[in-house]
Every structure is written in C-alpha cells, then in structure tokens.
Amino acid sequence: MSETASHVASGKVREIYALDDERLLLVTSDRISTFDVVLPTEIPDKGRVLTGLSAFWFAQTESIVPNHLIALREDGRSTECRRLEMLPIECVVRGYLAGSGWKDYLATGEVCGHRLPEGLSESERLPEPIFTPATKAQTGHDENIDRAAAVELVGEERFDEAERLTLELYSYVAGRALEHGIILADTKLEFGVDPEGRLVLADEAFTPDSSRFWPADGYEPGTSQPSYDKQFVRDYCETLGWDKTYPGPELPADVVDGTRARYIEAFERLTGVDFAEYLADPASVQA
C-alpha cells in the first residue's frame, strides 16, 4: 500500500483498511483455512482467484443489486470499496442440505424455522432454496437464527428485502455455475446500507471461501460431497490424525499445487477468463 490507511478489521484470510471516511481497502491473502484453522502454508494466488471471482460476480449481478466495489487494483488481490453500515446478519441461502443445515435438519426437521420434507438425505437438493440467516456468536462461530431473531436485529422491511435479494442472487449465480459443471450448494452474502438507505452487496461474493462449490460431475446425495477447492487439503489432513486445533499442519508441495490448480480451474470455468489474462489485466473479469 502506498497511502496511509488504518487497519479496521482482520478476517482469517482478509484484512480491511480504511482509506478515508467513505472508502475501505480489502486485501485478500493466500492463506487457507480448513476445519476452521488457518494453515501455516499458503496457496499461491488464492487471494487473486477469490478477488477476481468476486469482481466478476459483482459485475454480473449489478442489475439485480448495487455492490460496494469501487475499484479492482492492479495487484488483482486488493479492492477499494464503499464504506457501508453493515447489517448485523449474514445472509445465507441453501439450495442443498449440507453443513449446519444438515445437522439442524437431522436434529429438528427444520433449518432456521423452515420446516423441510421428511426423509431428505445429506447433500440432497432442496425443493426450493431457503434463506437461513446467521449471526456471529461470541465464540466467533456462526449461529443460525430464525426469521423472528433476524427481524429483531434488522427490522422486518430490511429482512424481507435482504431475503428477496439473497434468493434472487443465488438462483441466478447457481444457475450460471451449474452450466459450467459447478454446484453452488450454499453461499453467504453480506449487505450494507448506503447513505441513501439502499441495500448494497458487500464483502466477497460467490467465492469458494464464502460458498460450498461441488463438482456437478459425480454429485451423489446420501453422503457429504467433496469440496471443489479444498478436498486435497482435507484428505491430506485426515491422513495425519491431526486433532483440528491450532497449529495446523504444513502442506506438502503436491497438495499445494493440486489445490492451487483447483482454485484456478474454478475461476476459469466460472468467469471464462484465462487466469493468466486476469494477472496481466484484472479488469478482464469486469468486461
């Protein structure tokens, strides 16, 4: 960074800096987390893949909802964004039954207050996508909440608007992804409110870090599905007998290379842009 900027927040893999009162700088690193632990080994270019995918989907969905992106920088991993008043909920939509949705369904037959048909299998496609908001609990873990709890946090009008936009964005992007052999099982979106009171899509959007991407090829409900991007890392970690607490293991070169190739493959399939072209000219995903 050339200019002075104060650090606003750190995520597991991203840093947020304030550029001025109206603008933030988001920088996405090459760090990777698995089983909620950031590993000591990085995946080269992973941050560029995530940044390019977000910028691509922001451009593709602009007619559905405005977004916070102001500028994609030449490094391909940093973006200047409008500073918003963030909604205190994570807007999650699920088209398939996985993760905490599957766990909640097994325990109660419901996910975030949505009663689902009986007899669904793990990873099964839902009759229709459902909006399943979450909050960041004290522990730092996401906690699923029902409609009443979310309305308590954002108000009824905002809730309905966020739900409608989240479902519309998911339908559009999941359909596009499936055309390219990738199932978008679920995704997490974050919205903010601009000074005019409009909802604006923020954060990263439709990346493998904020979504479950599954290869459509070989999709088979009844068990957990391999992750499009992180499966080599998970499989390798499972061979170690690691207890999934800090510190995580170093990754060997073949696991790093295979994982990097999968991120780039997802990028190229979804955007139709060669990754080399993105590195030469990040704006190529915004055409």
| Residue from 27, 34, 52, 68 in contact with ligand Q0N (CB under 6 A) | 68
Q: Name which position in 13, 43, 50, 81 contacts ligand Q0N (CB under 6 A).
A: 81
- Contact partners, residue 253, CB within 8 Å, separation at least 6: none
Q: Hey, which residues does 14 pair with through a beta bridge?
A: 28
Check residue 91 for interaction with ligand Q0N (CB under 6 A): no
Stretch that binds ligand Q0N, among 52-60, 77-85, 211-219, 247-255 (CB under 6 A): 77-85
153, two tokens: 């946090």
**Cα R_g (the chain), whole angstroms:** 19
Q: Which residues ranging from 206 to 265 are in contact with ligand Q0N (CB under 6 A)?
A: none
Question: Total number of residues binding ligand Q0N (CB under 6 A)?
Answer: 16
84 binds ligand Q0N (CB under 6 A): yes
Residue choice 7, 12, 115, 136 for contact with ligand Q0N (CB under 6 A): 136
β-pair partners for 79: 26, 72
The DSSP secondary structure of 112-162, one letter per residue, reads TTEE--TTPPTTPEEEEEEE--EEE-TTSSEEE--HHHHHHHH-HHHHHHH
The only residue of 5, 38, 59, 86 in contact with ligand Q0N, by rule CB under 6 A = 86
Minimum CB distance to ligand Q0N, residue 18 (Å): 9
- Say whether residue 104 binds ligand Q0N (CB under 6 A): no
CB of 162 to ligand Q0N, least distance (A): 13
Q: How far is the CB of 263 from ligand Q0N (least distance, A)?
A: 21
Task: Please state the length of the chain.
Answer: 287
Interface with ligand Q0N, residue 202, by CB under 6 A: yes
Can you say how many angstroms the Cα of residue 138 is from the centroid of all Cα atoms in its chain? 21
11 residue type, one letter: G
Q: How far is the CB of 33 from ligand Q0N (least distance, A)?
A: 15
Residue with tokens 């939509």: 93
**CA gap 244, 218 in Å, rounded:** 28
Tokens 């870090």 belong to residue: 209
Give the interface with ligand Q0N as residue ranges (CB under 6 A).
9, 16, 24, 68, 81-84, 86, 88, 90, 136, 190, 192, 202-203
